[in-house]
Amino acid sequence: MRTILDHIDRHECGYVFVDGLSGYGKTSLLAVLVRQQPGYLYHFISQRYKTAEGDFDPTRPEDLLSNLCEQLEPHRAAPLGGRALTTRFREAVAAARDRPTVLVLDAIDEVNQHPSFLHGLLPRQLPKNLFILLSARSQGDRSYLTEVGLTPDGVGLRVTLGGLGADAVHDLLLHHAGTAGAALSDRVGFVDTLREVSEGDPFYLRFLVEDVEHGRLTPENIRRTPSGLYQYLDEQFDQLHRIQLHRVPDRDRQDDVHLHAAVLGLILAADGPLHRSDLLRQV
């Protein structure tokens, strides 16, 4: 966070890009930044912030652009939609400013349209005193910036979030894995091995810490645990594949298999991000 703030203090304008694997804390970082800097403008592109009974959808172009226009130019009413709203957004971005303005746009990879409706809306060169902070999931050697019409070379600062270190893994065991985790947090070599197996991936660590708490993961079997999240997920899918309905005589377990298949099918076939309620409706 200090790196981002220092960069803004030392420059006149420009883009800041925060990336990292899913679960590495990009949204949390920017949420804390916005909370600590109340003057920052922001929009979080996520189905989690969609209002249950209202019409606001943060992933929809009209809602995103209206929200940003109202923050960038609070004295002007934003058009309801269409080309007029797009034009107003471009005007708001290009407007002259006598003091620094910081706009945080989180999770640009969660736009559920392809190509992204943001493509062409963000100028490659920002005007003086305007900073735009973008975040997206890492995509191997490819940068999501190209999906919104930008390039890595056009970004003033790139912050790539890595996995959790040994100290963070120790704290997880100590405070979130029950008595078993607290005991193993001081076991020689266990924290380092857990960090190595998990590759510091917070998403994977969530499952491993739960296994420690319930006694399923111990110093004796940790080396047999899949190394890295993708190997872990491959093993889980293999296990699910092996549970054939004709091999599961118990009625309750058959229901579990049907439920797993329904949830996985929904996730794999979804065109975009799913809300928690979408999954709960399958239960």
User: What does residue 258 show for φ and ψ, rounded to 5 degrees?
Assistant: -60, -40
Q: Are residues 185 and 126 in the same domain?
A: no
Residue 255 lies in a domain: yes
Residue 45 belongs to a domain? yes
CB 22 within 8 A of CB 230: no
pLDDT confidence of residue 48 = 66
In a domain, residue 234? The reply is: no
* DSSP-derived 3-state class of residue 241: helix
3 C-beta neighbours (distance < 10 Å), count: 10
Are 39 and 81 members of one domain?
A: yes
**In this structure, what token pair is assigned to residue 230?**
């993708």
Instruction: Report residue 221: phi and psi, to 5°.
Output: -115, 0
pLDDT digits (tens, 9 = 90+) for 95-136: 999 999 999 999 998 876 667 888 889 999 999 999 999 999
Select from 126, 160, 194 the last residue of a domain. 160
- What are the pLDDT digits (tens) for 12-58? 999 999 998 877 788 889 999 999 999 999 999 876 666 656 677 88
Going by pLDDT thresholds of 50, 70 and 90, the confidence category of residue 86 is very high
121 and 170 both lie in a single domain: no
Q: Is residue 170 part of a domain?
A: yes
> Is the pLDDT assigned to residue 253 strictly greater than 60?
no
- How far apart CA 139 and CA 131 sit, in angstroms, is 24
Whether the pLDDT of residue 260 is over 90: the answer is no
Unique residue bearing structure tokens 């001081």: 186
Q: Could you tell me if 57 and 92 lie in one domain?
A: yes
Q: Indicate whether 258 and 275 sit together in one domain.
A: yes
Residue 251 has pLDDT above 80, yes or no: no
Tens digit of each residue's pLDDT (9 = 90 or more) over 179-230: 999 999 999 999 999 999 998 888 889 899 999 999 999 999 999 999 988 8
Q: Note the pLDDT of residue 51.
A: 60
**How many domains is the chain partitioned into structurally?**
3
Same structural domain, 255 and 204: no
C-alpha span between 160 and 19 (Å, rounded) = 5
Expressed as residue numbers, the domain containing 221 is 166-229
